[in-house]
Structure 1
Amino acid sequence: MTAEGAPGGAGRVDPAQLWLSPEQPRRGRKPAFTREAITAAAVALADAEGIDAVTMRRLAAEVGAGVMSLYSYAPDKETLLDLMADRVNAELPVPRAPTGDWRADLKAIAHLQRALMLRHPWLPAALHGRRSLGPHALAFLEHALAALRPTGLDGAARLEVFAQLTGFVAGHVAHELAQQAATASPERTAAEVRYLATVAADGEHPELAEVLNAPARPVTPGATFERFLNRLVDGLDTD
């Protein structure tokens, strides 16, 4: 999503102002919308048409408002993305307490993140570069850091592990969605299979030939995600 700032080139909103200060009522006539309603409309638009469809002009048309009036709710596109990301993070159930089995807890966290990103396919791209964590994202982060306490890692390392896990899930879901789009074209998929078979048979790619001749593994999206996740989490070094 390209930058689309507020009039006058205003910069990013102070996170404390965005998340810790209640939305201030304006003088005069009661506003027609709330920040929550505008954010909900933006999420619905992104869910339906993708993140590129979310422009201030399009959003204004969706809610029946003037473009300029939206800047009082979200002064720039990056702030709107922050609001959208935190709104959908509210869907993440936060367990009351970790189980004490940090690997199992971490895998459970990853599965929750994957499910959220599949419900909102625009989220992996929107998370890139997000630095302003809202209250719902912070609640989930707090749980993840607590789940990692039994590792003995210091706070900075636990934060890095969570960031690594979230990056893995976002990247995997983006790939998963791209694969789904590709398999919608059977002709293209068949052509790619024929191409790889031809290359593997030329004698110059013995490693590839061995891989292609190996027994097939379950290739459902869920099974693939589970294998990759196990390799990541089970291989984490906490020394």
Structure 2
Amino acid sequence: MTRTGTSGGAAGVDPEALWTPAERPRRGRPPAHSRAEITTAAVALADAEGLGAVTMRAVASRIGAGTMSLYSYVPNKETLLELMIDEVGGGHTLPSGPSGDWRADLRHLCHEQRAIMRRHPWLPEALPARRTFGPNTLAALEYALAALAPAGLDGPAGLEVFSLLSGFVASHVTHELAQEEAAGSTGRAFHDAQARYLRSPAVTDTCPRVAAALTAPGGAASPDATFDRLLNRMLDGLTAAG
């Protein structure tokens, strides 16, 4: 069940207070820290140790602040996660406007998303918990909707496409990173044993199509080429959908 805060924000997040803070003059000493500093520290911690390492106490320690003082800048961990997601989302390198070739524009956006997720491996895990769109996410979404205009998709369909492609990229990067980690830990001996098993009668007699597909000759494609091939199939399916 989704929790709701006092201001109507899901999971304790108030989008209005988060993304459109009122500028109020402060009296006395200037604040010792800033929301931007806290967000940067949380992102660095997640990059180094994973999303599970991000706690209010750990972030406070990283910037040399007391844990309770952090709550005067960021009211809860849910809000901190929203700030982190939008902060790294600003890593997109997008042109000022789409080119008119919607496939090329979306392909560029997806490659940018993949690069961001590889730089911040915790991001695919964090995205399902996102409750609101910050300015960087909205900018990417605006670009995607503008890029899709020549495809003749209306606004709701464009939002579905953006969600579909973002989900594909997140899933692919998660699988990609897991495969790289596994390859590094198991070595060549495991892959040789796997090939022998797939060619054994235990597999070829019961699942001949699977065995043939998994042992087909041909050099392994580069990660970039594999991503491109799968992304192209996704884009082809967009025009085939009703």
TM-score (norm 2): 0.88
Change (3 A) 1:16 1:196: same
Q: Superposition pairs for residues 154-233 of structure 1, below 5 Å?
A: 154-184=154-184, 185-186=186-187, 187-198=189-200, 201-233=203-235
Provide, for residues 104-136 of structure 1, a one-character-per-residue CA deviation record: whole Å limited to 9, x for no partner: 111111101001111111111111131211111
Shift of 1:25: 5.8
* Farther off after superposition, 208-217 or 19-28: 19-28
Residues 11 and 78 in structure 2, CA contact (< 8 A), matched pair in contact too: no
Distance in 1 (alpha carbons) for counterparts of 2:126 and 2:53: 13
For residue 36 of structure 1, what is the aligned residue in structure 2? 36
Instruction: State the structure with bigger RCO (CA 8 A, min sep 6), 1 or 2.
Output: 1
Residues 102 and 151 in structure 2, CA contact (< 8 A), matched pair in contact too: yes
Q: How much identity, in percent, do the aligned residues show? A: 57
Shift of 1:191: 3.7
Shift of 1:189: 3.8
Distance in 2 (alpha carbons) for counterparts of 1:11 and 1:202: 50
Shift of 1:193: 3.3
Distance in 2 (alpha carbons) for counterparts of 1:208 and 1:199: 12
Unaligned runs of 5+ in 2: none
For residue 133 of structure 1, what is the aligned residue in structure 2? 133
Distance in 2 (alpha carbons) for counterparts of 1:62 and 1:129: 24
Tell me how large the CA RMSD over aligned residues is: 2.2
Alignment size in residue pairs: 232
TM-score (norm 1): 0.89
* Farther off after superposition, 21-30 or 151-160: 21-30
Question: Which ranges of 4 or more aligned residues in structure 1 deviate by more than 6 Å?
Answer: none
Change (3 A) 1:113 1:200: farther
* Farther off after superposition, 16-25 or 140-149: 16-25
Unaligned runs of 5+ in 1: none
Q: Secondary structure at 1:235's aligned position in 2?
A: helix
Shift of 1:22: 4.3
Distance in 2 (alpha carbons) for counterparts of 1:198 and 1:72: 63
* Farther off after superposition, 116-125 or 20-29: 20-29
